[in-house]
Amino acid sequence: MAALLELKDVHAYYGDSHVLRGVSLSVEEGEVVGLLGRNGAGKTTTLLTIMGYLRARQGAIVFRGERMGGLHPYRVARRGIGFVPQERRIFPSLTVRENLSIGERSDGRGRWSVEDIWNIFPNLHARQKNLGCHLSGGEQQMLAIARALMVDPVLLLLDEPSEGLAPLIVEKIVQVLHDVKGKGLTILLIEQNLNTALRLADRHYVLSKGEICYSGTSGDLEGSEEVMKKYLGV
Ligand SMILES: Nc1ncnc2c1ncn2[C@@H]1O[C@H](COP(=O)(O)OP(=O)(O)OP(=O)(O)O)[C@@H](O)[C@H]1O
Ligand SMILES: [Mg+2]
């Protein structure tokens, strides 16, 4: 079976700085795949390259059987990839409801209605008239995920959704990601907290200095003390 997303020997640069050095990975439909690695390993750069914010100078990115090289981010999004960036990027001067409208499909054919979003995130419902800038960090993260769902992606890319959040909020986000996975969404997830990554993802890739140095299931990774010590620092 062909993978939903496949990266084959992808190289990417910031100017002359060669950051991704031949990244190959695949994500099958319905999977949650973790992308792990220390600070500066190239995790965010991998997602930016998939989204087309950064051009792959070498290698191929194939999504649903089609090459995506050189597509603009909005075209990548239209093909069915949702992106929740590390810095969340919600609109601070718009209300919660207005932030959701930005992602809402004009044809009304998305899998997630606003009602669904309110059911998944009751606290966003309660705060729908509040401005983005008045939300807590956890609420902003939930809004960023909710907005990505409104676009009805096939694959969701998440960059450290639990970063800087209190344990109770992290639990809520883990629950939400379990629920959306149950509804058939495929997820590629960057997660610094190994425990959270192990709970959420079926399989993992570990990046080190722009190269994949390990891949395996959660069970494999837990059993591999050497990988955890050497590449994850735990
Ligand atoms: N805009 C940029 N210009 C130049 N170099 C950059 C830029 N952004 C990132 N880098 C460098 O590219 C490398 C990979 O960065 P990246 O942000 O992908 O790492 P990361 O794995 O997401 O790390 P973190 O866990 O800190 O988010 C790092 O060495 C970083 O310093
Ligand atoms: Mg990062």
Q: Which domains does the chain have, with CATH numbers?
A: 5-232 (3.40.50.300)
pLDDT given for residue 47 in this prediction? 98
Q: Which residue has the tokens 């590629």?
A: 188
45 lines ligand 1 (CB under 6 A): yes
Measured from the Cβ of residue 21, the count of other Cβ atoms closer than 10 Å reads: 17
Per-residue pLDDT band for 70 (boundaries 50, 70, 90) equals confident
Structure tokens at 154: 């096939």
142 lines ligand 1 (CB under 6 A): no
Which ligand 1 atom is the nearest neighbour of the CA of 46?
A: 18
Distances (CA, A) of 41 to 76, 118, 209, 212, 224: 24, 36, 5, 10, 19
- Indicate the top mutation candidate among 10, 43, 213 to test ligand 1's pocket, ranked by most ligand atoms within 8 A of CB: 43
Q: Which residue has the tokens 């309660």?
A: 126
Per-residue pLDDT band for 1 (boundaries 50, 70, 90) equals low
Which ligand places an atom closest to the C-alpha of 36? 1
Structure tokens at 71: 């597509």
HSE, CB side, 13 Å, CA atoms: give it for residue 209: 1
Average pLDDT over residues 172-188: 92
44 lines ligand 1 (CB under 6 A): yes
Query: What is the pTM for the complete model shown?
Result: 0.94
Higher pLDDT, 140 or 232: 140
